Structure 1
Amino acid sequence: MEEKKFQKGIKRIFDVVVSLTVLILLLPLWAVVAILIKTTSKGPIFFLQERPGFQRKVLKVYKFRTMRPGSEKMVKGKEVMKGDDRITTIGKFLRRSKIDEIPQILNVLKGEMSLVGPRPERVASLKDYTDEISRRLNMKPGLTGLAQVSGNIYLSLQDRYKFDVYYVNHYSLRLDIKIIIRTVGVVLFGEDKYVDRCLVDIKRGTSEVAVTKEETVSK
């Protein structure tokens, strides 16, 4: 228990240091993206949406807007796919490159989110949570997570929940580092390249699947 507490303390320090560094280094990118969003479609630069966070506490998640105004209504468990016609031209690039998620470092700095953790769902999803699924709320939501580097939108909702619960039950700094490294691969090669290349095997329980550097590059 003390080891987990220590690791979570290190996790918070890492979150703050990395987020501040990213915020400073990417300020020019923020300006460029803001200009592109405003000049290519009507609507605000940022999209804010209430999401449940740690222990069900509701927070407002920041994102660069990638969809046309009025496209906020979503269906539980149904992700926005690549060909969705509600996505703006610049939005397609922002979503593919994950740049649209960058403003969430503000949530991280505020202590509402972490760099790694279960992705925050919509508040309406809470009513369908079982006790087991609710375990995903026992850690802060993250910019990236185990499900996001294991196929993400190509996974069923139940499988995404399983990855989230696994992460909470088996949290370690080592696992966080593996997820961050894999996230780089997802950004470069796309989520579809990792559908069957999970860091953990949820079908077999708790065994982690080794992924070599050569295998990752080959994808």
Structure 2
Amino acid sequence: MTIATERRWRLGRDVRSRSLRYLPLTTLVLDLALIVVAVVLAALGRESFGIFPSPADVSENLSTAGPLVVLGWLAMLVTAGAYGASAFGAGTEEYKRVLNGSLGAAGLVGVGCFFADYPLSRGFYFLSFAIGIPALLLGRFVVRSVLHQARRRGNLLHRVVIAGSPAHVDEIAAVLRRESWLGYRVVGALTPAHYLEEETRSGIPVLGNSDDITAVVLDSGADVVFIAGGALGSSTQMRRLAWDLEHERVQVVVAPSVTDVSSERIRVRPVGGLPLMHIDPPRATDASRWGKRLFDLIGSSGLILVFGPLFVLAAVQIKLHDRGPVLFRQTRVGQDGREFPCLKFRTMVVDAESRLQDLHAQEGYEDGLFKMKEDPRVTRPGRWLRRLSLDELPQLFNVLRGEMSLVGPRPPLPLEVARYEGDTARRLRVRPGMTGLWQVSGRSDLSWSEAVRLDLYYVDNWSMLQDISILVKTLRAVFGSRGAY
């Protein structure tokens, strides 16, 4: 590396780091602006909306209380850790801190006015927090969305060095590459002294030995160092590494050999100075209980009523096109290997199945779900039904009958199930879904292995909140027509 190249490289790294350091301050300024707007709107709207009307004139009190509410609210957010660098970018912790700080501010203002016998307008108090709390949460969502988009474009990235055995390094690097929105760019690896290759199997350059982590990390200009399995021989080395980097702008992250486990299943409990990670059992059983079934019954019934006109429109167009059957019934495999007729609006010609073998040979099909762009078997009404995923609406009746769920793994064909290997059969432990992580993450654009990984993640980490989130994201994926053909 030439001196000029190294200088440009370090300059780029410094610009990224400096921009990231400004993120908490930028967010604080945004929160301050939102709180001021909420307080002003509350002062103006307390009489207009007629909330907790009072014959007394409290305008002068508001001119004093308003700035105190703003400063106290912001102070509570700071106290709750809403501007800590670790809170930004991923997970729900950021939103929890904003909510806890805001509720703490509301409680502090209420209790303070009570003990001080201060005549604060109840309408002003209610509107301030009723407007301000949702505004703050929405503001954080917008900031996070902008941050993720910037990272996907290669901006605001952390430079990462991973220390550990080559296999662990490649495993962590694969996750960081896949989840590009996290903002981690792997620039090199540190491997045990006995590993003499210049690169790992996935092509990550080896910068040195894991015995020299501090020196190599500082020389490389990394912002973050991941400590994976095989990096350190004892807890003493880990402690010394933390001491060596305590005055540097380098974050140390310990990456255990655990992947595809949701945060709800992980608990860290320090015992005698030893941080123990507790992992709760997989939640496949929870995904089959009455709560999810009740959710499916209510949801499918409501959606059938809402989409009733679309059912009629699609059925009429399909029938008028070629006088063939409206519905297509295909045998799929459901929970615990039970087969059922999966319903769809027919979007292909009547003899589509007989043409399938020729298309397999033409496209070089080997395994997994077969789909192709510009499939010649698709009819004219079938194209718009597929583009908007309306062809799958009849599956609401499969959900109503208990054969499927609104959210779950994709229902596989018997031929696919016969070829399952290893852990893939765990997909059958829950009801298949009309939508799932596989759909909101790319639909037909996903590889077979990635679709299986997402389905297994769903099975092991099920939660009702995740189901609701997937349903919301499905609408965005459908209207965006991403991966649909």
TM-score after normalising by structure 2: 0.38
**Structure 2 residue 148 is the aligned partner of structure 1 residue 148:** no
1:132 alignment counterpart? 423
Q: Which residues of structure 1 form unaligned runs of 5+?
A: 194-219
Counterpart-to-counterpart distance in 2, 1:7 and 1:57: 15
**CA-CA distance at 1:62 after TM superposition:** 0.4
Q: Does 1:22 align with 2:313?
A: no
Q: 2:412 is matched with which residue?
A: 121
Which residue among 392, 397, 417 is the counterpart of 1:101? 392
Deviations along 1:134-177, whole A, 9 cap, x unmatched? 00001100000111111121111111111111110111112111
Match of 1:176 in 2: 467
Give unpaired runs (5+ residues) of structure 2: 1-280, 361-366
**Paired AA for residue 28 in structure 1:** P
CA-CA distance at 1:79 after TM superposition: 3.3
* Equivalent residue runs for 1:1-219 within 5 Å: 5=286, 8-72=289-353, 73=356, 76-192=367-483
Deviations 1:154-210 (A, max 9, x none): 1111111111111101111121111111100011112249xxxxxxxxxxxxxxxxx
Partner of 1:217: none
CA contact (8 A) 2:288 2:430 kept: no
Rounded to whole Å, the distance in 2 between the matches of 1:160 and 1:168 is: 13
1:78 shift after superposition = 4.7
Structure 1 Cα separation of the partners of residues 409 and 451 of structure 2: 9
Aligned with 1:177: secondary structure?
helix
Higher relative contact order (CA 8 A, sep 6+): 1
Report the more deviating stretch, 9-18 or 136-145. 9-18
Q: What CA distance in whole angstroms lies between the structure 2 residues aligned with 1:29 and 1:6?
A: 30
1 CA distance for matches of 2:346 and 2:397?
15
Query: Residues 169 and 6 from structure 1, CA distance in 2 versus in 1: closer, same or farther, beyond 3 angstroms?
Result: closer
Is the 2:287–2:462 Cα contact (8 Å) retained in structure 1? Answer: no
More helix, by proportion = 2
Once the two structures are TM-superposed, the CA of residue 12 in structure 1 deviates from its matched residue by 1.1
Q: Give how far 1:9 is off.
A: 2.3
Which whole-Å CA distance do the structure 2 matches of 1:139 and 1:78 have between them? Answer: 19
Secondary structure of the residue aligned to 1:22 is helix
Q: Paired residue for 1:214?
A: none
User: Using the alignment, how far apart are the partners of 1:81 and 1:58 within structure 2?
Assistant: 25
Residues 185 and 78 of structure 1: CA distance in aligned 2, closer, same or farther (over 3 Å): same
Q: Over residues 91-136 of structure 1, what are the superposed CA-to-partner deviations in whole Å (9 max), with x where a residue is unaligned?
A: 0100111111000011101111000001111111112112300000
2:331 partner letter: E
In structure 2, distance between residues paired with 1:27 and 1:125: 33
Cα distance in 2 between the residues matched to 1:117 and 1:7: 11
For residues 456 and 329 of structure 2, what CA distance do their matches in structure 1 show? 26
Preserved CA contact (<8 Å) 1:148 1:191: no
* RMSD of aligned alpha carbons: 2.0
Greater displacement, 72-81 / 125-134:
72-81
Letter paired with 1:172: S
State the secondary structure of the residue aligned to 2:328: strand
Shift of the 6–116 alpha-carbon distance from structure 1 to 2, 3 Å rule, reads closer
- Distance of 2:344 and 2:436 partners within structure 1: 17
Q: Match for 1:88: what amino acid?
A: T
For residues 180 and 6 of structure 1, the distance between their equivalents in structure 2, rounded to whole angstroms, comes to 15
Q: How far apart, in 1, do the equivalents of 2:469 and 2:289 lie? A: 16
Measured in 2, the distance between the counterparts of 1:40 and 1:80 equals 23
Q: How many residues matched?
A: 192
Are 2:408 and 2:434, in contact at CA under 8 Å, matched by a contact in 1?
yes
CA distance in 2, matches of 1:131, 1:80: 24
TM (normalized to structure 1)? 0.81
The answer (yes or no) to whether the contact 2:346–2:382 under 8 Å persists in 1 is yes
Secondary structure at 1:132 match in 2: helix
Contact 1:79 1:153 in 2 (8 A): no
CA contact (8 A) 2:286 2:462 kept: no
Q: Is the 8 A contact 1:7 1:172 kept in 2?
A: no
